[in-house]
Amino acid sequence: MPPSDFKNANIDEIVEKLTTEEAINLIAGVGFWHTHKVERLGIPAVKVSDGPNGIRGNHFFMGTPAKCLPSATALGATFDPELVKTVGLKLIAEEAKLRAASIVLAPTCNIQRNPLGGRSFESFSEDPFLSGIIAAAYVNGVQSGGIGSTIKHFAANDKENERFGYDSIVSPRALREIYLMPFMLAQKYANPWAYMTAYNKLNGLHCSENPTLLRDILRKEWKFDGMVMSDWFGTYDVAGGVNAGLDLEMPGTNKWRTLEYAGRSLQAKKITVRTIKERAKNVLNLVQKCAQGAPEILDGDGEERTLESEEDKELMRKVAAESIVLMKNTNNLLPLNPKSLKKVAIVGGNAKAFVVSGGGSAALKTSYFVSPFQGISDVLAGDNVEVTYAEGARTFMNLPTLENELYTADGRKGWIGTWHSHTSDDSMEPIEEPIADRYIDETRMFISTSTPPGITKRWTLRVKGFLKVERSTKFEFGLTTAGRAKLYVDGNLVIDNWTRQRRGDSFFGTGTVEETGVYDLVGGKEHEVYVEYLNVRGPADGDEDEQLMDSNPGVRLGGAPVQDPEEAMAEAVALAKGADVVIAVVGLNADWETEGYDRTTLALPGRTDELISKLVQTNPKTVVVTQSGSAITLPWIDEVPALVHAWYLGNPTGASIADVLFGKHNPSGKLSLTFPKREEDVPSFGHFHTEAGRIRYAEDLYVGYKHYQHRNITPLFAFGHGLSYTTFSLSNLNISKPTVADGELSATATVTVKNTGNVVGSQVVQLYVTLPKTSLLTHPELQLKAFGKVKDLAPGQEQEVTLRLDKYAVSYWGETLDTWVVERGSYGVSVGFASDAIALRGTFEVEKGFEWNGL
């Protein structure tokens, strides 16, 4: 019988037949990515995979080359649910099939309380409505391809430091209206097959054992009938999760739900077999959906594959371009016309760097990558424009990885690793004879579970390659490890990250800080680079424990020539002087913005700000392109004529940036989050960090633009902002009289958008609602409740846009009543092309108020 036969199984009968042991096995994963299979009953295992900007597959280490999509903030910036749905189907569901995964661990639907949040890039927006609508589109796209979507992290997982234990203290109203709203909308419009609980506590209780969240809200109120899984190692006991409604513990390594622990909980009557079977039934229902949705995966060979059609590449390039935001464009400096250029200076640490996505579980191995330098040069090559390049100022946090610089004895890019068992599981002595060797084309080796079979518990990895530089230079190496490691060059010890260590944030918080060492490389000479790694953490001040890294072993080698910052800056300025235009590409990368820790500043790294100021003083025709997944501060903004914000865009990065810079694509992206002038202006400033493990969500409802409006603080760039190469007008706001029946409300607003400029362009109409001032409650002044995108409007052409309003547009959460409330009264409607560019205002009346629950 093929495994997919399970699609016809009678789940109730199977649950009846399950032994207690089988039921316990079913409610925890197997390895990192699979569910448990029970051959006796024909129950297949299914595979899950991250998520959300692509599908990584099984391996963090030497993973399968994949499509990397724009970060979620970028997808949010498209304000285009139709496009995001297509992405879900064509680039996520199809990609999951190539990776033999039935379920994707995406989308991430948390909220940017503060752009410093390490994973801000991974969620769609600071606005709950935009987040929810885009999330629903994503889920619908994925699930229409027969692949399950796991919406995450449920809920209030809005920062990274101390993420396993912090307690998000959120008022019931803010919880409902802000933090649960994206999930609620996705639930209403897309019904995800699965939810992933957040690591943190919510109002005193961990989310993975929180009955209010999992039972009362999710299952009872929202009628969710799918499966709930924990985040990885985010299950903290047996009974709490089982009783609250956590169906599946993930992963299956180092798990709580073993026969022993679950058995003891049963014996102590903390849980019952009946509850375990309820949990198991939800797992089985999910497995059945997988068998029905994409049976070919279950019946397939399980191999991970890479495949890209030209059509896929075009779509990726288009989505990336659609998300780019034209922030500023004085005197229409952009788009650039290559025909009128002779010399272009490309400057900045991000221009040639590999910057595709934020870091952590969102990171994956891309199948191809176009750097900004490459994308821009490709366009200019056609017109024989001279392109020069200088780094100017460094933007990386850790020294860049060296896979493209190292080579093997037989001339391949990368190096060769040999794995060595030890003389016993507990021994620190490696056996000389390797048990496996492997060609490795990466120098960030997050080995995770990818160790050779049969290896002892403690093991050693030795990696060797060669490095040659053109000109003699002092070269700085960096070595980071979860375990312990040493670097030798030409047999000389250059870095000892072994004997004494300094704990850091690397490798999901289990690794060290980056230790560095400098070595003189001789031009033209072949230098041998050798790293010895052991999967046991070394002693550190304040923590002498030599812990075995059984889940997250890793080592990372980086390096770059030692640079004189003054010389680097002077070189860039000199290039700028003689150029017709300067394109500066600067920003963050996956080390600055990542899972595991938060950023400590909104400022761009190192001397970037100084560089931009110097460039623009030297050459007023300086276009700045910024890359970051969330907000950054831009102190030079008044000096520069043009700014393009390019998020993290995945494989086609440079091609899409060039499409916008040279006008092949007329930008229409809108900021999915506010860019503040300074950190102190951010709503959660002063209470973003934990105090004794607690985080007070003291800004309450005033998240994002709602705060800036409430306090009358002018941001650097407002939520919803984004320019175009054409201009638009907005007129004729008509709002229908709402109809109210059976606890539902329905009204429409129509407006006319006209392209008043000279080129074809797209525009986003944003509708904000103001709740009536009839109650004793305070409401944010404007709340996004509808939006629509007019696509490819020709010059002079106009189009009517219809925006639908329902009960969500007029409701607030009544804390004392524990219900959604719609008040009788007059509602304000503000329509514009940005939250700070309201062009039309109107009102509508709700004649009879009502209350509601559910969705």
Say if residues 276 and 23 touch (Cβ distance below 8 Å).
yes
Q: Are 538 and 499 in contact (CB under 8 A)?
A: yes
Distances, alpha carbon 655 to alpha carbons 76, 350, 575, 649, 795, in Å: 20, 14, 23, 10, 26
Amino acid 208 reads S
C-beta closer to ligand BGC: residue 232 or 396: 232
Nearer to ligand BGC, 361 or 724 (CB): 361
Listed residue (448, 557, 509) closest to 50, CA to CA? 448
- One-letter identity of residue 236: Y
Please state the closest distance from residue 291 (CB atom) to ligand BGC, in A: 22
Q: How far is the CB of 367 from ligand BGC (least distance, A)?
A: 20
Interface of this chain with ligand BGC, residues 568 to 627, rule: CB under 6 A? 595
User: CB 685 → ligand BGC: shortest distance, Å?
Assistant: 25
Nearest to 774 by CA among 747, 812, 743: 812
Burial class (CB in 10 A: 0-12, 13-18, 19+), 440: buried
Q: Which two tokens stand for residue 306?
A: 């890479």
Whole-angstrom Cα distance, residue 711 to residue 33? Answer: 46
Shortest approach of ligand BGC to residue 64 CB, angstroms?
A: 15
Exactly one of 51, 88, 128, 400 binds ligand BGC (CB under 6 A); that residue is 51
Residues 226-285 close enough to bind ligand BGC by CB under 6 A: 231-232
Distance of alpha carbon 57 from the chain centroid: 16
Nearest to 149 by CA among 83, 51, 218: 51
783/127 Cα distance (integer angstroms): 8
Is the Cβ–Cβ distance between 87 and 284 less than 8 Å? no
Q: How far is the CB of 150 from ligand BGC (least distance, A)?
A: 8
Chain-centroid distance, C-alpha 95: 17
- Which residue among 37, 85, 90, 152 contacts ligand BGC (CB under 6 A)? 152
Q: Identify the three-state secondary structure at position 474.
A: strand
For every residue of 73-106, DSSP letters joined together read HHHHHTT-HHHHHHIIIIIIIHHHHHTT-SEEE-
- Least separation, in Å, of the C-beta of 59 and ligand BGC? 11
Q: What is the DSSP string of 146-172?
A: T-EEEEEEETT----TTTTT-EEE--H
Q: Considering beta carbons, is residue 207 or 657 the nearer one to ligand BGC?
A: 207
Closer residue to ligand BGC in complex, CB, 167/231 = 231
Residue with Cβ nearer ligand BGC (226 or 652): 226
Which of 6, 22, 29, 50: binder of ligand BGC (CB under 6 A)?
A: 50
Q: Which of 183, 112, 172 is nearest to 149 (CA)?
A: 183
Count Cα neighbours of 495 within 13 Å in the Cβ-side half-sphere: 30
Strands 838-846 and 415-421, bridge-based pairing: unpaired
* Residue 205 bridge partners (DSSP): 202
Burial category of 25 from C-beta neighbours within 10 Å (exposed 0-12, middle 13-18, buried 19 and up)? buried
Residue 673: name the closest of 75, 31, 56 by CA.
75
**In the complex, least distance from residue 464 CB atom to ligand BGC, rounded to whole angstroms:** 30
What residues have CB less than 8 Å from 278, skipping those under 6 apart?
none
Contact 346/386 with Cβ under 8 angstroms? no
Of residues 295 and 554, the one with the C-beta less far from ligand BGC: 554
Instruction: List strands edge to edge, sheet with 811-814.
Output: 811-814, 819-822, 850-852
**Least CB distance to ligand BGC at residue 202 (A):** 16
Strands 581-587 and 554-561: unpaired
Nearest-angstrom CA–CA distance, 278 and 280: 5
What is the rounded distance in angstroms from the CA atom of residue 225 to the CA atom of residue 222?
9
Q: How far is the CB of 158 from ligand BGC (least distance, A)?
A: 13
Here the tokens at position 3 are: 């495994």
Q: Is the dihedral of CA 86, 90, 94, 99 positive or negative?
A: negative
Question: How many residues sit in the footprint of ligand BGC (CB under 6 A)?
Answer: 8
Name which of 157 and 516 has its Cβ closer to ligand BGC. Answer: 157
Q: What angle do CA 171, 138, 717 make, to 5 degrees?
A: 60
> Of the two residues 109 and 784, which places its CB atom closer to ligand BGC in the complex?
109
* 442 part of the interface to ligand BGC, by CB under 6 A: no
Residues in 317-376 at the binding interface with ligand BGC, rule: CB under 6 A: 361
Quick one: 51 or 182, whose CB is closer to ligand BGC?
A: 51
Retrieve residue 20's tokens: 């207690």
CB of 816 to ligand BGC, least distance (A): 35
Question: Quick one: which of 93, 105, 534, 625 contacts ligand BGC (CB under 6 A)?
Answer: 105
Cβ proximity to ligand BGC, 152 vs 394, nearer residue: 152
- Of 22 and 209, the one with the shorter C-beta distance to ligand BGC is 209
The owner of tokens 């719609």 is 822
Cα–Cα distance, 527 to 90 (Å, whole number): 45
Q: Encoding tokens for residue 437?
A: 């060797």
Residue 285 CB-density burial (10 A; 0-12 exposed, 13-18 middle, 19+ buried): middle
Q: How far is the CB of 406 from ligand BGC (least distance, A)?
A: 27
- Residues 837 and 366: their CA atoms lie apart, in Å, by 38
Record the tokens describing residue 844, joined without a space.
């509508």
Cβ contact 651:67 at 8 Å: yes
Instruction: Write down the least CB distance from residue 595 to ligand BGC, Å.
Output: 6
Annotated active-site residue 231? The verdict is yes
Minimum Å gap between C-beta 58 and ligand BGC is 11
Alpha carbons 214 and 370: distance in angstroms, whole number:
43
Nearer to ligand BGC, 74 or 239 (CB): 74
Catalytic residue among 127, 167, 231, 598: 231
Between residues 123 and 395, which has the closer beta carbon with respect to ligand BGC? Answer: 123
For 547, the token pair is 């812990």
Positions annotated as catalytic residues are: 231
Binding-site ranges for ligand BGC (CB under 6 A): 50-51, 105, 152, 231-232, 361, 595
